[in-house]
Copies of this chain bind each other. A is one copy, B any other.
């Protein structure tokens, strides 16, 4: 079976998915749509697909599934439209920045029995997936405490911050999903601290650039998340999971693993400096899982509900900072 794709949005992340589809033997990229015609035309030339409007993709008989990579404020509307059109839907996170809007949207998805997968790509990173597999294999016994370190190489520009929904909904949301993926139990409380240490402008826009979060579950499992919009040494992405019988950790990744030694010591190169090079395999695996879900008629995780819960945790973290107390979710 070949899944025939329509791609909505030909920007940075759209290209990542176009490439993943192009190198997947079970997928075919049929058409791309973008408000900026040049972007759509360029992508269509590079990946050998047609340029169509969103309306045309919606009504197309030769398209089975769509990838939504448009701006965040269009996600919920597009999910509803394509759910009603009977297409399988892969949507970049977040579904929306507002929990109520997400809930409405998911009601439509349930009603239409549409397939919806949300783009928490990190679950598909081979290293993080191997951590999860080690847990599932019983290598560390019962999970007790999780530590997630996620630090961006640098702060995004002001216009990005403005539309991002804030660091918890934009950046930490990935870690909330990872925490749920690894804890094996829903977080029931959130305590967070946030400050501006990297870029004053971020503070002026009402956002933070440095945050620490403690999540806990009903049985007392804990997860600590450490985020910063700065990491001079590259894209710092680590997890470690402590259990009753041991610990499993995923190390950072770099493009080349050489080491140079001299009088200053032993130096290894900086880490990947961009999420797209760091998570290249994750994006390919993610699309493959989406196709698997369609092919086997099963719901591929992470689902719309996974997207909703991560967003609710982000909202709780923000409240915890504002109110100076642990928030129960």
Using a CB–CB distance below 8 Å, which chain A residues touch chain B? Answer: 23, 126-127, 130-131, 134, 139-140, 144-145, 147, 149, 151, 189, 191-193, 195-198, 210-214, 216, 219-222, 224, 226, 228, 230-233, 236, 242, 244-251, 253, 255-270, 324-326
Contacts and interface: CB of A to CB of B under 8 A. Distances in A.
A233 B210 contact: no
Contact of A259 (B249, B325, B326): B249
Contacts of A261: 232-233, 246-249, 270
A23 B19 CA distance: 10
A84 to B, nearest CB: 36
A253 to B, nearest CB: 7
A191 B326 contact: yes
A266 B189 CA distance: 32
B256 A231 contact: no
Nearest to A211: B222
Contacts of A258: 127, 130-131, 134, 248-251
A260 to B, nearest CB: 5
Contact of A214 (B151, B214, B231, B259): B214
Given A210-B145, A224-B226, A261-B233, A189 B197 contact: no
Nearest to A255: B126
A233 B264 CA distance: 7
A228 B130 contact: no
Given A144-B197, A191-B193, 17 more contacts: A140-B260, A145-B212, A191-B326, A192-B214, A193-B214, A193-B326, A195-B221, A195-B222, A228-B242, A233-B262, A248-B260, A248-B261, A250-B258, A251-B257, A265-B269, A266-B268, A324-B326
A201 to B, nearest CB: 15
B250 A257 contact: yes
A147 B145 contact: no
Contacts of A198: 144, 244
Nearest to A327: B324
Contacts of A250: 256-258
A139 B228 CA distance: 19
Q: Which 8 A-B pairs have the closest CB atoms?
A: A195-B220, A246-B262, A233-B261, A325-B325, A130-B256, A324-B326, A247-B261, A267-B267
A231 B246 CA distance: 7
Contacts of A211: 222
A222 to B, nearest CB: 5
Contacts of A213: 214
Contact of A151 (B196, B242, B263, B268): B242
A235 to B, nearest CB: 12
A186 B263 CA distance: 29
A311 B134 CA distance: 39
Given A258-B249, A261-B247, A214 B212 contact: yes
Contacts of A145: 197, 210, 212, 226, 228
